[in-house]
């Protein structure tokens, strides 16, 4: 994969889930990037990448919403996305969604500039962080779309390895889906539940106090399950965790 050189400024696409449920992850990611002397532009008119409608087959509706986003990011600078599944939607699935669209070429230009948050930190910023936190044991849930669509394998772990007081305990079936899948979790609750229960068992087995992920869909699902089962373990977005550790609680 090719990554750009460290830019002076970037766009930030916050995603709708982060906007509504995990704004702390979004602002942490922005601050981590700003700290590296890169200007962050957050177009206030952004909403959602269109993935929920696209995944449900409603392509026309997804197109309208996607086009609304694309026009907000005209400068030829990277667009950082703190979610692998929204990132994959914009980087890869837009090309399917707009296959026959007259503006395909400019959409391609937009898609090429999409870069996921952990990849941006590792490959573009080449960030070096200092750990200011107490010793902690945690585990990592690898989002499916990070692994299989954005080709993110080691980046999140490379970031965590920079933190000297953090011990990462890997999940037994790290590459297996947590059962979220967007509307799948609502349309097929029993199957989703079976998948989530197994994931929670695996997470519990690690004995870690915190489970991190890079996708708020997975996180919402896993956290929801942990809380429902009255587990003490908490779920957190990688960006929130990195900001807390390298900057003290903001």
Partner 1 sequence: MENPNQNLSSPKEKFVKGFQKSLNDPQLRKNFRNASFALKSMRQTAFPDEAAFKELQELGHRIKMKALKNLGPLLRQLEQKCQEKGIQVHWAESTDEANQIVLEICQRNNAASVIKGKSMVTEEMHLNHFLEQHKIEAIETDLGEYIIQLDHETPSHIIAPAIHKDKKQIAQLFNDKIEGAGYTEVYEELNAIARKSLRKKFYKADVGITGVNFAIAETGTICLVENEGNGRMCSTLPPVHIAVMGMEKVIPTLEELPPLLTLLARSATGQPISTYFNMINSPRKEGEKDGPKEVHLVILDNRRSQIYQDEHLQKTLLCIRCGACLNHCPVYSRIGGHAYNQVYPGPIGKILAPQMNGLESTGGVHNASSLCGACGEVCPVKIPIPEILLRLRYEGVNKSRSSKVHEHGTQQNFKESMAWKFWEKIHASPVLYKTNSGLGNLLNSVMPKNAGPLKNWSEFREVPQFAAKSLHQLAREKGVADE
Query: CA 117, CA 4: separation in Å to the nearest integer?
Result: 13
Site for partner 1 in 118-147 (CB under 8 A): 144-145, 147
Using H for helix, E for strand and C for coil, what is the string for 112-131?
HCEEEHHHHHHHHHCCCCCC
Window contacting partner 1 (CB under 8 A); options: 107-115, 121-129, 181-189, 241-249: 181-189
Residues in the chain: 250
Among 175, 201, 205, 207, binds partner 1 (CB under 8 A): 175
Size of the site for partner 1 (CB under 8 A): 73
Site for partner 1 in 13-32 (CB under 8 A): 14, 16, 18-24, 26-27, 30-31
Residues 57, 123: contact at Cβ < 8 Å? no
Among 159, 160, 195, 233, binds partner 1 (CB under 8 A): 195
Among 71, 108, 167, 193, binds partner 1 (CB under 8 A): 193
Residues 212, 219: contact at Cβ < 8 Å? no
Give which of 2, 32, 200 is closest to 112, Cα–Cα.
2
Backbone angles phi, psi at 137, to 5 degrees: -110, 130
Query: CA 76, CA 153: separation in Å to the nearest integer?
Result: 27
Among 71, 126, 148, 164, binds partner 1 (CB under 8 A): 148
Query: CA 6, CA 54: separation in Å to the nearest integer?
Result: 32
Residue 108 interacts with partner 1 (CB under 8 A)? no
Among 32, 38, 50, 241, binds partner 1 (CB under 8 A): 50
Window contacting partner 1 (CB under 8 A); options: 33-41, 117-125, 129-137, 205-213: 33-41
Give me the sheet containing 136-141, strands edge to edge: 166-168, 136-141, 210-213, 234-237
Cβ proximity to partner 1, 121 vs 142, nearer residue: 142
Residue 167 interacts with partner 1 (CB under 8 A)? no
- Work out how close the CB of 111 gets to partner 1 at its nearest, in angstroms, rounded to a whole number: 15
Residue 47 interacts with partner 1 (CB under 8 A)? yes
Residue 76 interacts with partner 1 (CB under 8 A)? no
- Work out how close the CB of 57 gets to partner 1 at its nearest, in angstroms, rounded to a whole number: 3
Residue 180 interacts with partner 1 (CB under 8 A)? yes
Among 5, 37, 45, 134, binds partner 1 (CB under 8 A): 45
- DSSP, collapsed to helix, strand or coil, labels residue 16 as helix
Residue 54 interacts with partner 1 (CB under 8 A)? yes
Binding mask 200-239 for partner 1 (x = CB under 8 A): --------------------xx-xxx-xx-----------
Residues 83, 15: contact at Cβ < 8 Å? yes
Angle at the Cα of 95 (from 52 to 154), degrees rounded to 5?
Answer: 75
Q: How many CB atoms lie within 10 A of CB 43?
A: 15
């Amino acid at each position: 994969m090719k990554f750009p050189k460290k830019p002076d400024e970037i766009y930030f696409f916050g995603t709708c889930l982060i906007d509504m449920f995990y704004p702390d992850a979004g602002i942490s990611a922005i601050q981590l990037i700003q700290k590296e002397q890169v200007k962050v532009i957050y177009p206030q008119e952004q909403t959602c990448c269109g993935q929920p409608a696209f995944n449900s087959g409603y392509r026309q509706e997804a197109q309208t919403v996607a086009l609304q986003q694309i026009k907000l990011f005209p400068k030829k600078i990277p667009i950082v996305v703190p979610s692998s599944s929204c990132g994959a939607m914009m980087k890869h699935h837009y090309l399917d969604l707009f296959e026959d669209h007259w503006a395909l070429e400019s959409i391609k230009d937009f898609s090429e500039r999409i870069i996921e948050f952990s990849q941006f930190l590792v490959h573009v910023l080449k960030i070096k962080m200092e750990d200011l936190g107490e010793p902690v044991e945690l585990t990592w849930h690898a989002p499916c779309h990070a692994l299989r669509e954005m080709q993110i394998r080691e980046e999140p772990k490379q970031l965590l390895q920079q933190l000297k007081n953090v011990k990462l305990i890997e999940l037994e079936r790290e590459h297996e889906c947590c059962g979220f899948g967007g509307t799948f979790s609502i349309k097929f609750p029993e199957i989703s539940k079976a998948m989530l229960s197994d994931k929670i068992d695996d997470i519990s087995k690690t004995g870690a106090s915190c489970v991190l992920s890079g996708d708020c869909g997975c996180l919402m699902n896993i956290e929801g399950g942990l809380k429902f089962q009255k587990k003490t373990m908490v779920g957190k977005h990688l960006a929130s965790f990195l900001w807390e550790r390298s900057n003290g609680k903001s």
